[in-house]
């Protein structure tokens, strides 16, 4: 049964979000909970228009190198957490990482994202050496690090070595929710401090959260949106939570494609020029998840450049896609998917630019 009055109210909120780039907490909650027919398409249409105004039809490709699955942390949701004895561990040497970049560069990539567990083998000096080597060989490329929490001095050293960007999801903006997802030795305040330090140093910073993580409520998501609005990251990485069979959250429900896509649209309207990836996790819960993400306002994808023999070992969650493909195959498939929905893949650095059109 249609509820015409509710319908009108929530569609109005979408209009208000578009024009004012802001809503009250109650209004955000109403948008997140709306079940009116046609509402997601209405939001997505607005998000697409905004994204096209700033970025046209371009979808930026970043080459992802998952260089270690060894981690000293024990995040309750993550498949490569320290206490998972069933994961076959690996780490890539500096030469192996560089050869991933060589392959990526040949394929046209101009951004490399180095992601891994928090692996103490990669000391500050080793990360500096890896970053300098990549920047020395490919000065026209951007290097993004996603290696978790370190101290400000370390972040500064990586930045001085040439790292341009840093991805560190805040995971949830609610401290007590954070504590449900992480063991006591990990602190919400420290993670937030890291984000602040990264920004102060001058990195282009990405934060973000899982959608539908265990115990997440609508209020938590509203807090996440408020945090994004205040922090003003250059990038926001969101993807559905997907259970991993060797974690304590193995039997919890995964986040949904609908809520993830709705949040992508909301974030696009809230932060019009933000870089917004359609993530691998989104492609994992729905075979056309990334395409749906692009159509809801996302404008970045991160094909995998990790060597094929380690792909199947960087498993943060179950059923991860693209674990068997060669890099060249991955990029071809990605380009096809993007063009199938009317957008075009771009491999240049795609720096975040602050637009001042309004």
Residues that bind ligand SAH (CB under 6 A): 77-78, 115, 117-118, 146-148, 168-169, 171, 210, 239, 241-242, 244, 281, 316-317
CB of 277 to ligand SAH, least distance (A): 11
CB of 305 to ligand SAH, least distance (A): 16
Alpha-carbon torsion (191, 192, 196, 202), positive or negative: positive
Q: Give the distance, in angstroms, between the CA of residue 146 and the centroid of all CA atoms in the same chain.
A: 10
- Facing residues of 344 across strands? 58
CB of 110 to ligand SAH, least distance (A): 22
CB of 36 to ligand SAH, least distance (A): 28
CB of 45 to ligand SAH, least distance (A): 28
Tokens read off for 263: 């949040």
Is 63 or 239 the residue whose CB approaches ligand SAH more closely?
239
CB of 245 to ligand SAH, least distance (A): 10
Closest CA relative to residue 173, chosen from 207, 131, 135 = 207
Is 104 or 148 the residue whose CB approaches ligand SAH more closely?
148
Is 114 or 141 the residue whose CB approaches ligand SAH more closely?
114
Q: How many Å from the N-terminal Cα to the C-terminal Cα in the chain?
A: 40
DSSP code string of 109-130: --EEEEEE---TTS-HHHHHHH
Is 53 or 245 the residue whose CB approaches ligand SAH more closely?
245
265 contacts 296 by C-beta, under 8 angstroms: yes
CB of 151 to ligand SAH, least distance (A): 15
Is 115 or 299 the residue whose CB approaches ligand SAH more closely?
115
Is 146 or 304 the residue whose CB approaches ligand SAH more closely?
146
Is 176 or 340 the residue whose CB approaches ligand SAH more closely?
176
Residue 85, CA distances (Å) to 59, 82, 247, 252 in order: 38, 8, 11, 21
> What distance in Å separates the CA atoms of residue 304 and residue 275, rounded to the nearest whole number?
18
Residues with Cβ < 8 Å from 316, sequence gap 6 or more?
A: 78, 79, 80, 244
List phi, psi (to 5°) of 68.
Answer: -155, 140
């Amino acid at each position: 049964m249609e509820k015409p009055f509710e319908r009108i109210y929530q569609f109005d909120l979408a209009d208000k979000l578009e024009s004012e780039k802001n809503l009250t907490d109650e209004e955000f909650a109403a948008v997140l909970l709306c079940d009116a027919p046609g509402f997601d398409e209405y939001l997505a249409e607005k998000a697409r228009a905004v994204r096209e105004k700033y970025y046209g039809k371009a979808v930026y490709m970043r080459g992802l190198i998952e260089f270690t699955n060894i981690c000293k942390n024990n995040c309750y949701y993550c498949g490569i957490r320290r206490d998972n004895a069933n994961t076959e561990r690996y780490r890539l040497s500096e030469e192996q990482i560089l050869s991933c970049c060589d392959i990526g560069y040949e394929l046209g990539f101009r951004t490399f994202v180095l992601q891994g567990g928090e692996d103490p083998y990669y000391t500050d000096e080793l990360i500096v050496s890896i970053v300098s080597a990549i920047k020395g060989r490919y000065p026209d490329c951007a290097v993004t690090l996603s290696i978790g929490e370190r101290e400000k001095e370390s972040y500064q050293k990586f930045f001085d070595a040439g790292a341009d960007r840093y991805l560190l999801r805040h995971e949830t903006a609610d401290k007590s929710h954070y504590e449900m997802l992480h063991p006591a030795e990990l602190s919400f305040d420290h993670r937030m401090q890291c984000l602040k330090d990264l920004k102060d140093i001058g990195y282009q910073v990405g934060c973000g959260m899982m959608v539908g993580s265990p115990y997440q409520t609508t209020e938590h998501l509203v807090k996440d949106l408020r945090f994004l609005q205040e922090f003003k990251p250059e990038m926001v990485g969101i993807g559905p939570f997907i259970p991993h069979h060797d974690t304590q959250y193995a039997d919890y429900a995964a986040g949904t494609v609908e809520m993830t896509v709705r949040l992508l649209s909301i974030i696009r309207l809230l932060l019009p020029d933000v870089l917004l990836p359609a993530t691998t996790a989104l492609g994992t819960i729905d075979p056309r998840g990334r395409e749906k993400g692009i159509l809801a306002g996302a404008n970045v994808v991160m094909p995998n450049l990790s060597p094929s023999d380690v792909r199947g070992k960087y498993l943060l969650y179950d059923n991860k896609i693209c674990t068997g493909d060669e890099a060249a195959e991955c990029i071809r498939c990605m380009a096809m998917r993007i063009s199938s929905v009317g957008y075009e893949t771009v491999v240049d650095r795609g720096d975040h630019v602050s637009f001042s059109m309004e």
